[in-house]
Amino acid sequence: MFRTKPGKTKDPFSRLILWSIPAIALPAGVMHFLYELSGNMAAVGLFAPVNESVWEHQKLAFVPMLLWWILSFIVLRKRPGMSALRWFFSGAVAELVCPLFIISFFYIHTGALGLHSLLLDVSSLFIGVILAQTGGLHAYRYSRLSPIWVFVIFLMTALLFLAYIVFTFAPPHLPLFMDSLTGSYGM
């Protein structure tokens, strides 16, 4: 890290990752209604929630975050010090942190504490993105990439991406996948 003064940094990757938080969280509002606005097109349901289940709402963070990590790499790829492997490893870490936090937060405030609040649900998305991106930044700065961990993290992220697709069409009949408004599952 290149430090000039305490608290000030010239590291463009750090600044970009921190500025990404609103850029990832804000499109979630539009994405929430995208499937319905599309006339329930199956192709849109691959990346936007198709119902009000906790599972489907994970797409609100996953898709913008995935796009952000890919597009920002394209912009930064020729910068000195840029490591593609570290960058995408960090993005994969972020993609795994966010849904773990959001799902945990949801079941703690609804199941354990009995609180049902739209404000808490929306807050969990923003907090999840903050934790994911700062976790990704930490991974970028400090990870010592052993081949096994790189493989495991990338495999887990790929399986999560595949699960979003498969469970959109054929979700298990578990509370995580149930539409809270209709009691239905998937499309």
Note the pLDDT tens digit of each residue in 64-80.
999 999 999 998 888 88
| Structural domain contains residue 3 | no
- Once rounded to an integer, what is the mean pLDDT over residues 52-75? 92
Q: How many domains does the chain fold into?
A: 1
User: Is 95 part of any domain?
Assistant: yes
Residue 133 lies in a domain: yes
**In this predicted model, what pLDDT tens digit does every residue of 14-48 receive, in sequence order?**
788 778 888 898 888 889 999 999 999 999 999 99
Position 130 pLDDT exceeds 70 = yes
Residue 185, in any domain of the structure: no
| 57-61, 105-109, 119-123, 163-167: range with lowest mean pLDDT | 119-123
Identify the domain containing residue 129 by its residue range.
12-74+81-177
Residue 62: band (very low, low, confident or very high) from pLDDT cuts 50, 70, 90: very high
Name the nearest CA neighbour of 15 among 128, 157, 141.
141
Q: Is residue 37 part of a domain?
A: yes
Residue range 159-175: average pLDDT? 95
Q: Is residue 1 part of a domain?
A: no
